[in-house]
Every structure is written in C-alpha cells, then in structure tokens.
C-alpha cells in the first residue's frame, strides 16, 4: 500500500504542475482584475464564471464519468480506441447543437443573469470558451486513464503561455474589459488542443460503438442530474447574493471565493487527477478498502495543513492581491469556503463505494437533497449575514452532503474510514484558526511571525491529542532522518520521480 501512496504522491505532483499551469493565469491576473475592474464589474465576471460552470455541467452530460468506468470494464476490452472515438464525437455533436440553439436567446439570458441586454456579446464569448473546454474534457480524461502526467503538464503549460499573453494584451493594453479574459481563454484552449491533436487521433479507432454509448448514457443519466444539481449547489450563492443584494456584493464575494478556492484549484484538483484512475484500477485488488480508508485520512490531513494556512493568513492574502480598498473585507468568508472545499473533497472520496457499486441514483439523490438545502439556507442566511451567510450556507450544505454520501456508501460498500481521526483534524484546525484571530490587530511583522507559529504547531497539537498511530510516528521519524540529510536529497528526489 505504501508503494501506491508513493505513486499517488508522484503523479499528484506532476499533475499539480499541469493544473498549476491551467489555473495560474486566472490566479496571477487577480491584481490586474482588481485594478482594471470595479467591484461591480468583478461581480459580472463572477456571474459569468458560474454560468460557464452551469453550461459545462448541463452539456457535458457527465460523459467523462462513464468513460472512466467503461474504460476499465472487461466488456470494453479491445474497444478502448473506438470507445474514445464514440464519446468524443458524441460530445462534439452536443456542443455544436448547444451553441447554435443558444444564439437566439443571448440577449434574453443577458437580461435574466446580468440585468442588462448589453452583455449578450460577453455571454457568447463565455459560451464559446465553455464549450471548447468541454470538447477537451475527453482527451484530458484519456491522459489521466493512461497515466501520462507529463504530456498533460506540457499541454497545460502551452495553454498557460497563450492564455496569459492574450489576456494581458487585451485587458492591460487594449482595455477591452472582461472580453479580453475570454479571448485569452479561447486562444489558450485552442493551443491546448493543438498539443494533444496527435495523441487524440493516435488513440482513436473510427468506429462508432452505439451499444456501448447507450449503456454509458443510461449510466450517466443519474450522474448528469446530480452533476447539474451539484453545480447549482456551487453557484447558487452568487445568484442568491445578486437577488438579495447588489452586484458589488457579488463582486466582493467572488473575489474572496476565487482566492479561497486556490485550495481546490491547485491542491485538490491535482490530487484528484491522480486519485480517480487509481481508485477504479484498485477496485478488485486485495486490501483496497484499507487503502480507501487511509486515503481519506491522509488526504484530509494534507488538505487541512494548506487550508489552515490560508485561513490564518486570510486577511493578508486578501489585501495582497487587491488593488482597491473595497476588496479588503473579502477575507471574512475564507474559513467557511475553506471548510466547504474540504467537506467536498471528503465527499468525493466517500463516493468511492457508490461509484464502484454503480449506485449512481443514490449519488443523484444526495446531490438533489443538498442543493435544495443550500437554496433554503441561502434564502435564510444571506438576508441576515450577507456574504458570510452565503459562505456559511455553502459550508453547512457541503457538510450534509458528505454525511449523506458517507451514510449511503457505507450501506452498499462498507469501508473502515477513520472518522474520529478526521473529526480531530477538523476541530484542531478550527481551534487554531480562532486563536489566530486574536493577532489580527497587531503590526504586520509580529502578526506574521505569530501566525506562522500557529500553523507550525498544528502537527504537534495533533500529536498531543493522540492523532498519530505508532507505525505513522515511526514513518515520520524515518522520513525526517532521510530528508533532513542534504547530501541524500538528490537521491531521494530521484527515487520519488523514477519511472
């Protein structure tokens, strides 16, 4: 099992480089956005981004999930290339129909979403960008299934260079506003596709698998419904803030969410790229349930270290990237968003049993219940607490989502998850974050020193609470001895990334 975790770590790092290159453009451009756009304009961008997520969820049909499942299915033996061709061609067809069907309604959608018909051109650019990304999902998925993280990273680096260059040119020099962001995204997607075109064609057998596609679509239907509900769960906060408040409130929330979501974009997404193929590949392996149990514990542990750091430094991070004072208060939503992201990650791992057992209808049910709960909480908490109410609603909803998923998954595919240890992780992190709030009024230098110490004592607080098992303590001591020796550092790094 240790070898599996080493491989998981190695591929997560490599996938992390690729994910970093994909999302780095949007992250490093935040200071440019906060300087070029008012808070209200940032709110328009935030609503466009969540609308893009709705488009991708609705027209993606969750086909990539079925492709993951059927790729390793024994009934697909000898048909992987034709299966890839089938799902890719079908997805392209759906994208083309979606685009031309949406064109007559852009002005009406602009009024509905953004309260003005003047954004119809922006909506069209958003639609083109989202649908292009949707077409690229299948070759992206195949890279993960074939475990080719280096090619994945190369394609994303090319995408980064083109996207970043075009965006800066149009926003900073041509002053095109939000349109420049979508020009960059579209050009970046085309550059990504150009890198993968040879890989894509080489892995295709131009034969349409009608029977397999029908089976996959039947499998996807509950996942599609749950996927749409899940996206609505993740985007109703901004729509609700706009309904109960004003566009500037959406902008402030979107800025805080974009910063806090770095945890998801740069860490969790990277690890998930490596985890998902491994989960399905190990579903018939001996000892797989113990692997799944430890995976949830260690995944939560690693995520909470970074999450705690982001919560503790939240005020400093919000001010570092803002170029206008009106963005400063965005850090208030950080802890709620961080915990909602962690609960979402835990939910994804807990879904393992339902996915292996093909209980996709249960997944759809849990998503629908959670989305409905989130809508109710938004309507209750946003009028009372504003942006913090939306963030709190998201956190509570994701906690319920995880609990429901865990409950139903354990009924059909019991896995000995270490819930007590995970609870201790979450409580210890919350306690240290609350402690750090006492120092927010201090000067910058002493504040940073004390907050750094608060983060560093996290593993030791867990040790005092009896978190670690004996074998884990021995591994930690052995790892410290090996990695603290600077002479052996090159050899240790080579061992991690070999093969």
Contacts 24+ apart (CB under 8 A), 136-141: 136/189, 136/192, 136/193, 136/196, 137/60, 137/63, 137/64, 137/91, 138/63, 138/64, 138/67, 138/84, 138/87, 138/88, 138/91, 139/88, 139/193, 139/196, 139/199, 139/200, 141/64, 141/67, 141/68
pTM summary value: 0.80
pLDDT tens string 160-174:
889 989 999 999 999
Residues 365-372, mean pLDDT to the nearest whole number? 86
For the chain, give the mean pLDDT.
86
For the chain, give the percent of residues with pLDDT over 70. Answer: 88
Average pLDDT of the residues in 229-250: 87
pLDDT of residue 498: 57
Q: What is the pLDDT of residues 390-422, one digit of tens each?
A: 999 999 999 999 999 999 999 988 999 999 999
pLDDT band at residue 449 using 50, 70 and 90 as cut-offs: very high
Using CA atoms, how far residue 153 sits from 14, 197, 226, in Å, is: 7, 15, 30
Longest alpha-carbon distance in the chain: 67
Q: Which comes out higher in pLDDT, residue 211 or 425? A: 425
> C-alpha 495: how far from its chain's center?
29
Is 455 in contact with 429 (CB distance < 8 Å)? no
- Cβ of 96: how many Cβ atoms within 10 Å? 12
Determine which of 8-12, 87-91, 432-436, 446-450 has the lowest per-residue pLDDT on average: 8-12
* Spatial contact of 382 and 240, defined as CB atoms under 8 Å apart: yes
440 in helix, strand or coil?
A: coil
* Contact between residue 188 and residue 160 where contact means Cβ atoms under 8 Å apart: yes
């Amino acid at each position: 099992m240790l070898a599996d975790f080493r491989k998981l770590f190695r591929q997560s790092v490599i996938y992390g480089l690729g994910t970093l290159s994909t999302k780095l453009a949007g992250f490093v451009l935040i200071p440019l956005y906060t300087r070029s756009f008012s808070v209200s304009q940032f709110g328009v961008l935030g609503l466009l981004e969540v609308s893009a997520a709705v488009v991708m969820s609705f027209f993606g049909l969750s086909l990539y999930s079925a492709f993951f499942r059927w790729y390793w299915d024994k009934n697909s033996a000898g048909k992987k290339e034709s299966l890839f061709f089938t799902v890719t061609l079908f997805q392209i067809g759906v994208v083309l129909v979606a685009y031309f069907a949406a064109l007559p309604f852009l002005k009406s959608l602009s009024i509905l979403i953004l309260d003005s018909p003047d954004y119809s051109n922006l909506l069209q650019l958003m639609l083109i960008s989202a649908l292009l990304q949707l077409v690229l999902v299948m070759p992206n998925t195949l890279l993960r299934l074939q475990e080719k993280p280096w090619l994945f990273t190369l394609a994303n680096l090319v995408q980064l260079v083109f996207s970043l260059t075009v965006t800066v040119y149009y926003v900073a020099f041509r002053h095109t506003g939000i349109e420049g962001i979508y020009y960059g995204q579209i050009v970046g997607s085309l550059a990504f596709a150009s890198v993968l075109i040879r890989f894509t064609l080489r892995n295709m057998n131009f034969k349409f698998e009608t029977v397999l596609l029908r089976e996959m679509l039947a499998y996807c239907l509950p996942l599609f419904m749950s996927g749409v509900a899940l996206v609505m769960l993740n985007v109703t906060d901004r729509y609700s803030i706009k309904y109960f408040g004003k566009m500037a409130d959406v902008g402030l929330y979107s800025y805080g969410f974009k910063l806090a979501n770095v945890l998801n974009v740069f860490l969790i997404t990277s690890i998930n790229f490596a985890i998902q193929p491994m989960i399905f590949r190990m579903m018939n392996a001996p000892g797989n349930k113990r692997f799944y149990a430890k995976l949830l514990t260690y995944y939560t542990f690693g995520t909470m270290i970074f999450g705690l750091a982001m919560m503790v430094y939240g005020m400093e991070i919000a001010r570092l990237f803002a170029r206008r004072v009106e963005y400063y208060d965005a850090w208030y939503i950080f802890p709620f968003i961080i915990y909602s992201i962690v609960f979402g990650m835990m939910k994804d791992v807990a879904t393992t049993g339902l996915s292996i057992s093909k209980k996709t209808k249960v997944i759809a049910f849990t998503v629908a219940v959670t989305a409905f709960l989130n809508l109710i909480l938004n309507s209750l908490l946003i009028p009372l607490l504003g942006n913090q109410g939306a963030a709190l609603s998201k956190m509570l909803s994701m906690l319920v989502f995880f609990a429901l998923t865990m409950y139903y998954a354990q009924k059909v595919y019991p896995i000995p998850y270490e819930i007590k240890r995970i609870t201790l992780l979450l409580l210890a992190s919350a306690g240290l974050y609350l402690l750090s709030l006492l120092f927010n009024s201090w000067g910058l230098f002493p504040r940073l020193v004390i907050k750094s110490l608060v983060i560093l004592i996290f593993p030791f607080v867990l040790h005092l609470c009896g978190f670690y098992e004996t074998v884990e303590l021995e591994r930690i001591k052995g790892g410290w001895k090996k990695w603290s020796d600077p002479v052996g550092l090159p050899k240790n790094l080579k061992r991690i990334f070999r093969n």
